[in-house]
Every structure is written in structure tokens, then in C-alpha cells.
């Protein structure tokens, strides 16, 4: 029996099964939140994730911790998508497609705006995180499309984000897509003036 360094357990590395559980939980929670809202019973989430309720509470002692984690995860995913889209598509196409991602984000976050306005201090960092992450992304996409001459980027990232938040109809993605087209066209038409 030889004892090499590889046999020593790395105590501070996150155990792989733990990380898997965490991922499963976040995915399940995101699904349940999208389907039933953030007030859905905890049991629904744990059942979907196939874990005991204690596991959820170990990772997210407060319900708001879970909600925040889900939101951040989806915000991050949406941000990452922008990079991928920018690499694959022309600037205007990338912008349009990414607005579709953003619409998806809003459509599945029925409780997002309510949570933000709940006054619960657990959510107080969320709006800032939202703008910190999405602001530069929108800025980048607009600037790129402007540089390519496709649009005139005369809208602030903040205004574009807010407009998107308010036009999305979670029950009618066709409508939402139509509205996105309208907005992009609005930016494009102005580019010729």
C-alpha cells in the first residue's frame, strides 16, 4: 500500500457530488419558479430535484437565498450567451438574438420584479447585480452594432433593459418576438436619418 499525494483528500475542494446536488437544485428551482412562481412550495422543488428537504436548507437557509441564487445563475447564463452570440453572428443579428435570450429570462422570472420591490433586504443587492452584469452586455452589443453601421445606438442600456422588462408577454412568445423586431427596426430606421 503506497501513500502518494494523490491519495490525500483535498479538504477544501468542493466535493463533486455536492456540486451536482447544488446544480440539480438550482435547475429544479428555476423550473418550478418559472411554472408556479417563486412562492411555490419547497417540496415541489426538492421532489423535482430528487433530494431531501434538508439538502435544500443546507445550501439555502433562507428562501430568498435560493431565489437570489437562481436569478444570479440565469443572469450569468444570459450574459454568457452574449459572448457566444457576438462570436458567431454579425452585430445586429447578435443583438436581436440576445434580446430574445433576455426576453426568455424575463418570461421565466415571473416573481423577479415582485422580489425586487418586496423591500426584503435579502434582495437589495439584486437590482445592482442585474445592472452590473447586463449593463455592459447591452452596451457592448449596441456599440458593436453601431460601429458596424447597422443601427444608431441612441438608447441607453438602462432604457433598453427596462423596455424589454415591460414588453415581454410570458404567455405569448410570438408577440414578444414581434415586439423585439419592432424595437430593433426602430433603432435601424433611425440609422438612416
Q: Write out the three cell numbers for 129.
A: 447585480
Tell the residue number behind the cell numbers 477544501, with chain if given. 12
Taking residues 105 to 124 in sequence order and writing x for each that binds a second copy by CB under 8 A, - otherwise, the string is -----x--xx--x-------
171 binds, among DNA, a second copy, none (CB under 5 to 8 A by kind): a second copy
Of 57, 81, 64, 71, the C-alpha closest to 26 is: 71
Stretch that binds DNA, among 40-48, 72-80, 128-136, 138-146 (CB under 7 A): 40-48
d(CA 188, CA 94): 14
What does each C-alpha distance from 142 to 12, 73, 160, 180, 186 come to in angstroms? Answer: 42, 24, 10, 14, 13
Write the Ramachandran bin of 182: left for phi over 0, alpha for psi from -120 to 50, otherwise beta.
Answer: alpha
Number of residues that bind a second copy (CB under 8 A): 20
CB of 33 to DNA, least distance (A): 12
Tell the residue number behind the cell numbers 437544485, with chain if given. 25
Interface with DNA, residue 83, by CB under 7 A? no
Closer to DNA by Cβ: residue 18 or 84: 18
d(CA 9, CA 14): 11
42 binds, among DNA, a second copy, none (CB under 5 to 8 A by kind): DNA
Interface with DNA, residue 118, by CB under 7 A? no
Residue numbers of the site for DNA (CB under 7 A)?
Answer: 14-18, 21, 39-43, 50-55, 57-59, 61-63
Residues near a second copy, by CB under 8 A:
1-3, 7, 37, 39, 110, 113-114, 117, 162, 165-169, 171-172, 175, 179
Amino acid at each position: 500500500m503506497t501513500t502518494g499525494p494523490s491519495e490525500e483528500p483535498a479538504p477544501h475542494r468542493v466535493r463533486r457530488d455536492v456540486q451536482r446536488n447544488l446544480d440539480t437544485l438550482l435547475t429544479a428551482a428555476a423550473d418550478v419558479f418559472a411554472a408556479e412562481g417563486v412562492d411555490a412550495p419547497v417540496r415541489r422543488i426538492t421532489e423535482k430535484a430528487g433530494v431531501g428537504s434538508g439538502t435544500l436548507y443546507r445550501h439555502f437557509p433562507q428562501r430568498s437565498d435560493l431565489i437570489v441564487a437562481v436569478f444570479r445563475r440565469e443572469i450569468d447564463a444570459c450574459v454568457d450567451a452574449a459572448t457566444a452570440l457576438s462570436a458567431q453572428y454579425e452585430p445586429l443579428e447578435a443583438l436581436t438574438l440576445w434580446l430574445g435570450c433576455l426576453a426568455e429570462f424575463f418570461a421565466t422570472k415571473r416573481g423577479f420584479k415582485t422580489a425586487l420591490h418586496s423591500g426584503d433586504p435579502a434582495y437589495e443587492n439584486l437590482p445592482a447585480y442585474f445592472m452590473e452584469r447586463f449593463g455592459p452586455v447591452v452596451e457592448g452589443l449596441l456599440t458593436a452594432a453601431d460601429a458596424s453601421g447597422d443601427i444608431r445606438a441612441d438608447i441607453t442600456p438602462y432604457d433598453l433593459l427596462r423596455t424589454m422588462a415591460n414588453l415581454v408577454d410570458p404567455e405569448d412568445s410570438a408577440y414578444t418576438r414581434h415586439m423585439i423586431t419592432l424595437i430593433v427596426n426602430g433603432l435601424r430606421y433611425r440609422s438612416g436619418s
